[in-house]
Amino acid sequence: MVQILPSILSADFARLGEDIATVERGGAQMLHVDIMDGHFVPNLTMGPPVVQSIRKVTKLVLDVHLMLTDPDTYAPIFIEAGADQVSVHYEAARHLDRTIHLIQGLGAKAGVVLNPATPVSVLEDILPVVDFVLIMSVNPGFGGQKFIPNSLNKIRRLAELRRERGLNFAIEIDGGVNHGNLREIVQAGCNWMVAGSHVFGSADPAATVKEMQQIAELATTAVV
């Protein structure tokens, strides 16, 4: 099943509950939540109390993307706050296998994230353990950046590895996703597509989510 995940980074933080209700109305099932610490990435966003508040107003799957230097300390705190799934950067996790098991042991799905400069090959040994892999298609830190085309090759490679090795992790993409590149992303083998500025920057975010979801579903029927 393919999913469009609105990223609340581009929502209006003063009206967060309403913006979440809007994308829910558009049919979103999962919500992408960006956590930045000002160290791993040059930006700051929100902490556990905000995730806790979001948890109270929605039943959507909360997909928490940790862009911070110390995932082992913070992953449990965000799960406690209500995250259903947590992804940690390969570039930040010193003992990735331990971190993945820590997250899963607390009852959440665990994902590993690759920056644009990190090759898929580094995941060879961890793939059987993870629930999902998130490919960054921009350098993390900000919404509204341009999609890096090589990300498509990384998705294709991952999908190929998944097939060859009989694994069933989900593949997620984050950054610069829009109407124009969505079909190709899905056809490359991606399951979860994060979209921030393209959704919340549009005139009608609910309609945008709905349209993107339809495009993504149609694109799966064209996959051979």
- Report the nearest approach of Zn ion to the CB of residue 132 (Å): 13
The answer to whether residue 34 forms part of the interface with Zn ion (CB under 5 A) is yes
The answer to whether residue 172 forms part of the interface with Zn ion (CB under 5 A) is no
Residue 197, contacted partner among ligand DX5, Zn ion, none, CB below 5-8 A by kind:
ligand DX5
Residue 196, contacted partner among Zn ion, ligand DX5, none, CB below 5-8 A by kind:
ligand DX5
Indicate if 204 belongs to the active site: no
- Report the nearest approach of ligand DX5 to the CB of residue 13 (Å): 13
The nearer residue to ligand DX5, 194 or 209, going by C-beta atoms, is 194
Residue 6, contacted partner among ligand DX5, Zn ion, none, CB below 5-8 A by kind:
none
- Report the nearest approach of Zn ion to the CB of residue 167 (Å): 23
Given the residues 19, 34, 63, 131, the one annotated as active site: 34
The answer to whether residue 19 forms part of the interface with Zn ion (CB under 5 A) is no
The nearer residue to ligand DX5, 38 or 128, going by C-beta atoms, is 38
Indicate if 174 belongs to the active site: yes
* Cα–Cα distance, 132 to 168 (Å, whole number): 8
String of DSSP letters for the chain: --EEEEBGGGS-GGGHHHHHHHHHHTT--EEEEEEEBSSSSS-B---HHHHHHHHHH--SEEEEEEESS-HHHHHHHHHHHT-SEEEEETTT-TTHHHHHHHHHHTT-EEEEEE-TTS-GGGGTTTTTT-SEEEEESS-TT-SSPPP-TTHHHHHHHHHHHHHHTT---EEEEESS--HHHHHHHHHTT--EEEESHHHHTSS-HHHHHHHHHHHHHHHHHT--
* Cα–Cα distance, 18 to 153 (Å, whole number): 37
Among 51, 65, 114, 147, which residue sits at the site for Zn ion (rule: CB under 5 A)? 65
The residues binding ligand DX5 (CB under 6 A) are: 7, 9-10, 32, 34, 65, 138, 140-145, 174-177, 194-198
Q: Name residue, tokens 């967060």.
A: 16
- Report the nearest approach of Zn ion to the CB of residue 33 (Å): 8
Q: Name the residues annotated as catalytic.
A: 34, 174
Q: Which residues of the shown chain bind Zn ion in the complex (CB under 5 A)?
A: 34, 65, 174
